[in-house]
Amino acid sequence: MPEASQKVSLQVRVNGKLHSREVEPRQLLVEFLREDLELTGTHIGCDTTYCGACTVLMNDVAVKSCTVFAVQADGAEITTVEGLEKDGGLHPIQKAFGDCYGLQCGYCTPGLMLSALQLLKDNPHPDQKQIRKAIAGNTCRCTGYQNIFKAIATAATAMRSSGHGD
């Protein structure tokens, strides 16, 4: 049994920036983002595909980055919470989470915001049920979710009125 296996090359675009690295195949995408790229906004919660704290977008769809090997992101576009802000201004989803008190400790928030981003890209007019379904894979232990639902509905309205395409 090899203790360290042959490294493989990986080229991935994260928040618009291209990175080329050599990685161990067993390295998970979340560890690659946090340790190699020092993008620590993506959190590790349960590390068992349950909590969704590690959610990022991979080619525009939400994935749990603790359950994808980094090498599988070869050639992919990744969006993390650090990629939401544009030109020093908060993304409407970030602003809505703040305005609606959609967080308390904030640990689950980056993952929730990325799940919300996939929802609002696919469906600019989500109803309450669709919002609930979209974040069913994200666990929050503080808020009781009500203000998170409000934040996502508020972000949807803001994104529609600002013509926010992303």
Partner 1 sequence: MYPRAFTYHRAGSLKEAVAMLSQLGEGAKLLAGGQSLIPLMKLRFANPVHLVDLNFISGTSYIREQDGVLHFGPLTRHAEIEKSASAARVPILRDCAAGIADVQVRNRGTIGGSLAEADPSGDWATVLLTTSCEVHCAGTTGERTLKLSEFLKDAYTTTLAHDELVSEVVVRVPSGNSGGAYIAFKRSAPVYPTASAAVQLTVDGDRCKDVAIALGCVGLLPIRVQEGEAALRGQQITTKRIESAADAARSAANPQPDMRGSAEYKRQLVGALVKRSIDAALQRARGHQVEVSHIYA
> Interface with partner 1 by CB under 8 A: which residues?
1-6, 8, 24-28, 31, 47-52, 55, 61-64, 67-69, 71-72, 74, 115, 118-119, 133-134, 136-138
* Distance of closest approach, residue 88 Cβ to partner 1, in angstroms: 29
Q: Which is nearer to partner 1, 55 or 154 (CB)?
A: 55
Q: Which is nearer to partner 1, 5 or 98 (CB)?
A: 5
Q: Partners of 58 in the beta sheet?
A: 61, 78
Nearer to partner 1, 1 or 87 (CB): 1
DSSP per-residue letters across the chain: --SSPPPEEEEEEETTEEEEEEE-TT-BHHHIIIIIS--TTS--SSSSSSS-TTEEEETTEEEEGGGSBGGGGTT-EEE-GGGT-BTTB--HHHHHHHHTT--SS-SSHHHHHHHHHHHHHH-SS--HHHHHHHTTT---SSS-SHHHHHHHHHHHHHHHHTT---
Instruction: Compute the least distance from the CB of residue 144 to partner 1, in Å.
Output: 15
Minimum distance between the CB of residue 6 and partner 1, rounded to whole angstroms?
Answer: 6
Residue 89: CB minimum distance to partner 1, A:
27
Using the minimum distance from each CB to partner 1, give the nearer residue, 6 or 161.
Answer: 6
Cβ distance to partner 1 smaller for residue 90 or 121: 121
* Minimum distance, C-beta of residue 153 to partner 1, in the bound complex (Å): 17
